[in-house]
Each structure stands twice: as structure tokens, then as C-alpha cells.
Structure 1
Amino acid sequence: MADYVHEIRKLVGHRPIIMNTAAGILVNARQEVLLNERVDTGNWSLPGGYLEYGETYAQACVREYKEDSGIDVAIVNRIDIFDEGDVHYPNGDVTQTITGLFLVRQVGGQALDHATNETVRVKYFPFDQLPPLLNQQTQDMLEAARQYLQQQKG
């Protein structure tokens, strides 16, 4: 069922809802993380998004990563599930997201070099020099990913 989110929003309007999302952590050789600047809110988040009906977290991560960044990825490992934090969208929608976070690796594609209907641009950032983020959950996911990557090194 494609466009599940729009179907739900037609039924509930701007009422706060709980939605499932998936996001990926892609790091470059300098251990910087790829983020996308969002069209809707003007801040930055991990490439990812809402699951469509019938999709797994991993499938949604791969699909949404391509949509948000232009990069084809494969799942390396699941890092964690995050279930705290609301997103308040400029159109009035409020959503509590339950996000499956995955470490991913690039298997094709290339970073967007133009804006889309969801992404202004993509850019790598050091974990200690992050831009303004979408919400606390995004910050929590980046911190968990930073710790995960440090554990993998040591």
C-alpha cells in the first residue's frame, strides 16, 4: 500500500499519531556521518522515513535512504530502536516516531547534487560538529551511532 502516511493523515488530520520510521547511518573514511537538510523543516536529519504498509524497517531504510540521499545502501547491522520524541511539522502534523536505526554501507548511486521535494542537500558532518537537527530523537540516534562505531573500533 503505497503512500500509507498520506492515507492515514486524510483520516486523522493533524492529530498526534504514532508512526514507524527507519533511518541509516553512513560514515565516510573520515568517520563523518551523512545527513540531509530537510525541505519541510529546514533542519537536518538522517536519511530515512516512514514505513509503507507491509514494509520491514530494513526495507524502508534502504528505500528511504535512496529517496533522501541518492545513495543505494545495504544494511550492515541494526543499531537500536528509538521511541522517544515528537516531530512537529510546519503543516501542523505531530508524530511520535518509533525508529529503527541501521548502520549501512554504500553499494551504488551517488549523493544528490540537486534539491528534491524532500531534501535540500546532503552533506557529511563530524559527530562533534553537527548542524541544527530535526529533534531530540535524531540527536539520540547520532549519539548511539557514535558510541556503536567506537565500540566496533575497540
Structure 2
Amino acid sequence: MDIITFLLQALASYIAIAAFLIVLNVQKQMVIPGGILGMSVWLIYYLLLEPTNVIVATFTAAVIGSCASQVMSIVLKTPSVIFALAILAPLVPGYRAYMTTTYFVSGNHSEALVNTTTVIILALVIPIGMASGTVLLRLYKYIQKRFKEA
């Protein structure tokens, strides 16, 4: 991967996530931080996609994005749902679901079943990763609190 491709991925993902948040009528002052978070999640996914696989990359990006969204919601004093939308937008396997339908319609049933399995796994991995990020952040806060008391 070269630097030009990386920068184009960053720019395109930021524009797409920011547009998605605008369509969902998110507060104007939260579009930029939400877009940056979504772009970061996409870049984490994109960087991990080649050395690992799509499931590991999606899970890791969801965990890191969830932790970051919780921190951003506290710092910016905004509900974390806004940032959860920014995490979901780049991770949802829409293209794979579309290709699954295309494979079924064209009669390529073996490829369609493989894609269906991947889409279902990703649909489960995303919320598990987001919940894991929240749990990890709460665990960190708990451990930090326990060490302050000791």
C-alpha cells in the first residue's frame, strides 16, 4: 500500500462518514469529530485487512472505535450514539450483502453461500466488538479506581 492510496482512503472515508452523519441530522458541531472517528475506524480496518482477515479487522476496528467513541462522548459531552453511528458506517458489510444478492440472482450459489456466511459473521462481530470496547473501557476505569484507592 502506498501513501497516496492511504490518503485517498482517508479523504474518501471522512467525506462519506460526514455525509452519512449529515443525512442522519446529527448536530453540526459533531459532524467533524464523528467524521474523524469514522475515518479512523475505516483506516484501522483498512490497515488490518491485508495482514489479517476481514473478521479480525472488523472486530479490532469495532473495539478500538467503541473505546474512542466512549471517550469522545465524555470529552464532548454528547450521547455516544452519535459516535456509534460513525463507527457503524464504515464497518457494515453492505457491499458484501449486495454481492451476495448478485451471486444468488446470477446462479452462482456456492459463492453466494460463502458471502452469506461472511455477512452473517460480520453482522455478529460488529456489535460484539462494540460491546467489548465498552467493557474494556469500564474495566480500565475500574482498575484505575482500585489502584487509586490502594
Give the TM bin, normalised by the shorter chain.
under 0.3
Q: Where is the helix percentage greater, Structure 1 or Structure 2?
A: 2
Larger radius of gyration: 2
Q: State the TM-score, normalized to the length of structure 1.
A: 0.26
Q: State the TM-score, normalized to the length of structure 2.
A: 0.26
